[in-house]
Amino acid sequence: MEIDLTNNTPVLLSRIGRPESHTLSDYRADGGYEGLARVLRDMKPEDLIQLIKDSSLRGRGGAGFPTGLKWSFLPKDHPGPIYFCLNADESEPGTFNNRILMEEDPHQVIEGLILACYATRSVTAYYYMRYEYPRAWERLLKALDECYSAGILGKSVLGSGFCLDIFPHRGAAAYICGEETGLIESLEGKRAWPRIKPPFPAVEGVFRKPTVVNNVETVACVKQIVDRGVDWFKSLGVPADPKNPRDPGSYGPKLYCLSGHVERPGCYEAPLGITVHQLVDHFGGGVWKNRHAKAAIPGGISMGLLKADEFDCPLDFAGPGRYGCLGLGTAAVVVMDETVSMVDFLHNSARFFAHESCGQCTPCREGTAWALRMLERIRAGRGRLKDLDLLLEIGDTIGIMPGTTICGLADGAAWPLKNAIRKFRSEFEEYMQRTNPSGYQQTDAVPALSSLSHGGH
């Protein structure tokens, strides 16, 4: 069932596109930081945690873990310090919603971050931003200066006695730093190798202290829930499945990123649960050049692939999973038209993950590299039908789901392999028969074409 979009009004993006939207004065003219002042005056931290629990807000960074529950895992009466890390290491291919928020409305993010720190009793927050966002970085530094000058940060936030520092910390172009324990290791000045859990960050995180890591859009939602209330938030989205007691539902607005072969790529706000069709047609103006869609990535490349006849898939936390995908991920939809070769798509995906595997776990380090070398050979016209089974074997055995790796990067590498080959197998077979007529049925071992190429960060 499609979500009714007739009264869809952007909230997270309501201030985007105005020339001064990034300044404190413009933000305050729209009532900015009034919600924070009210919370500091009227609510205890535990009340704010309860409010966010009641809203059923789920993290927007990819995993969809309930935010209030994550906060409540912090130990009670801990002597401190408790640290907060804002995950602004957005780097999932296809995803740019956090960049838009940080460039155009940095104070909305900062207000949400301060609220989240108050709820979790954090007095130090690290704002970990990927290197490749220089404009967002510059605007963050200016916005933080404005906040310190205006008494919104520092010894006594808005005169409340609540003390908070936010320190910006810049990454160095590594995808794995978006994994929350990879981020923590990176912040500590080490290689960004994800940690084995438990202990979870809430118990022992950065600098061995209790730590919360939340995504940029998640804290922006916190600010909106404080301003507009739980009822507003829960009036949007998809209710919990009554038959599944573990489903927390998919409530609230979501920033959908749309790119690839559509007429109007962009970041669009809509209630959770719109279908791919709605996103592509209502917001994106349809597939470009009057062509037909062939496939789409549902939520960043890690989530796998939907065929064109699966575009009725609702983009809520439970939707893509019902279509064989990994999940909603970052809700970044990338559309591919009928001219795209799935061999090329899968090669691009495999190259990304081989480049970004951190190298800590052997199944991921070797599996992503093997997959890439096989796809390079297939693409060069030396593919064998057997390679498809070998690629699927990699896809089925690397990741936290089969239990062979520490973090989910390998699951993200596996899903495009599994979805592309299982949903488009005949295309791969036809490609091999056409490009390798004498060798496609070969089954003995063959060498890779060459070692992996280098030349970037």
Partner 1 sequence: MPSTEKKSNSTPVLNNEMRDEIRKYFARYPTRQAVTLPALHVVNKYLRHVPLQAVVEIAELLELSPAQVQDTLSFYGFFPQQAPHGEVRAWVCRSISCALRGGEEVLAHMCAKAKIQPGETTANGKLTLEFGECLGACELAPCMLAGDQLVGHLTAESSEEFLASCGALGTS
Residues forming contacts to partner 1 in the complex (CB under 8 A) are 90-96, 98-99, 130-135, 138, 165, 167, 169-175, 186-192, 207, 257-261, 265-267, 297, 301, 332, 334, 336, 340, 344-345, 348-349, 351-352, 355-356, 358, 454-457
- Minimum distance, C-beta of residue 438 to partner 1, in the bound complex (Å): 29
Query: 273 — phi, psi (to 5°)?
Result: 110, 0
Least separation in angstroms between residue 33's CB and partner 1 is: 24
Q: How far is the CB of 423 from partner 1 (least distance, A)?
A: 16
| In 230-313, alpha helices (H) | 230-234, 276-278
Nearer of residues 124 and 436 to partner 1, judged by Cβ: 124
Compute the least distance from the CB of residue 47 to partner 1, in Å.
29
Report, in Å, the least distance between residue 44 CB and partner 1: 27
In contact, 237 and 55? CB cutoff 8 Å: no
Separation of alpha carbons 271 and 279, rounded Å: 11
Minimum Å distance from CB 283 to partner 1? 12
| Cβ 162 vs Cβ 119: under 8 Å | no
Q: How far is the CB of 416 from partner 1 (least distance, A)?
A: 9
136 vs 238, which CB is nearer to partner 1? 136
Cα distance between residue 95 and residue 297, in whole Å: 11
Phi, psi (rounded to 5 degrees) for 57: -60, 130
Q: How many CB atoms neighbour CB 256 within 10 A? A: 24
- Are 151 and 114 within 8 A, CB to CB? no
Q: What DSSP character marks residue 241? A: -
Q: Select 119 or 296, whichever has its Cβ closest to partner 1.
A: 296
Cα(378)–Cα(436) distance, integer angstroms: 9
Q: Which residue, 130 or 382, has its beta carbon nearer to partner 1?
A: 130
User: Least distance (Å) from partner 1 to the CB of residue 207?
Assistant: 5
In the bound state with partner 1, the residue whose beta carbon lies nearer, of 152 and 192, is 192
Indicate the residue among 293 and 388 with the shorter CB distance to partner 1: 293
The answer to whether 303 and 320 are in contact (CB under 8 A) is yes
- Cα 453 to Cα 352: distance, rounded to the nearest angstrom: 12
Distance between CA 75 and CA 79 in Å, rounded? 10
Nearer to partner 1, 318 or 375 (CB): 375
Residue 171 or 210: which CB sits closer to partner 1? Answer: 171
Q: Enter the tokens of residue 434.
A: 């056409």
Burial of 176 (0-12, 13-18, 19+ CB in 10 A): buried
Rounded to whole angstroms, the Cα distance separating 96 from 16 reads 14
